[in-house]
Every structure is written in structure tokens, then in C-alpha cells.
Amino acid sequence: MEYAIVHEDRDNSFTVTLKKNSVALTQTEMEAITKFEIKYNGTYYNSVDNSDGFEIVNATAKVTVKPYELGLESGDTDTVEFIVYDNGDYTNGLLWDRFKLKVSDYATVA
């Protein structure tokens, strides 16, 4: 399971590459997706209601999630659910991936 750390109130993000059978989705497959959503600490955030929080690049099958735009607050490490929706088979959402996410309230200096 992947693990990401982001910092509250900082301009940092993480990117998910959508793959099927270890190959990135095609642009056509990406364009069929109507909504992306994450569930963090029991709250759902989606690309329709929170468009600034998701940057979607169909050509490369990448979705960048911007926690600072979503207003995610610091807390315990949580298992995030990454969900996709389309107008065909997954109108109720398909759990695409799970990964650990920690939103920290302090910035780490290396």
C-alpha cells in the first residue's frame, strides 16, 4: 500500500496514475470518467464539488489531488479510498485504490 504525507496549509499534492492491468488508462478511458473522489477521515471529497482540489490529465491518466485546496485538516494517518465514477458500469463508484495518507500540521525541513 502506498503512503503519502502532505502538510496542512501548504501547497503540496500527490498524484495517482490510473492503470488497468499495469498499463495507464487511455485518453478515451479517462474521458469516460465523470468524477473522481477520495474518502479521508470519513469525509468524501470529489472533483465535481471541489474542482480546484483535483487536476486531471487525461492524456497521461494522472490525477493530482491537492489537499490544501480541499481543506484537509491534520489528523491521524488514514487509509484513503480513491473512487472513480462513469456513466456506464460504475455510476455508483468503483473503488480504484487505497493508500495511506497523513496530513501533518507542521512542515518538515530536510
CATH of residue 32's domain is: 2.60.40.10
The sign of the dihedral angle between the CA atoms of 53, 47, 32, 84 is positive
pLDDT at residue 39, as a whole number: 93
Is the separation of the CB atoms in 30 and 84 below 8 Å? Answer: no
For the chain, how many structural domains are there in total? 1
- Residue 73 covered by a domain: yes
Domain range holding 60? 3-104
Is the separation of the CB atoms in 43 and 31 below 8 Å? Answer: no
pLDDT at residue 102, as a whole number: 82
pLDDT at residue 48, as a whole number: 96
pLDDT at residue 110, as a whole number: 54
Give the C-alpha separation, 29 to 9, whole Å.
Answer: 33
Look up residue 40 and give its three cell numbers: 479521508
First to last CA, the chain: 25
pLDDT at residue 88, as a whole number: 84
- Residue 110 covered by a domain: no
Low-confidence ranges of the chain (pLDDT < 70): 1-3, 7-9, 106-110
pLDDT digits (tens, 9 = 90+) for 10-31: 778 889 999 999 999 999 999 9
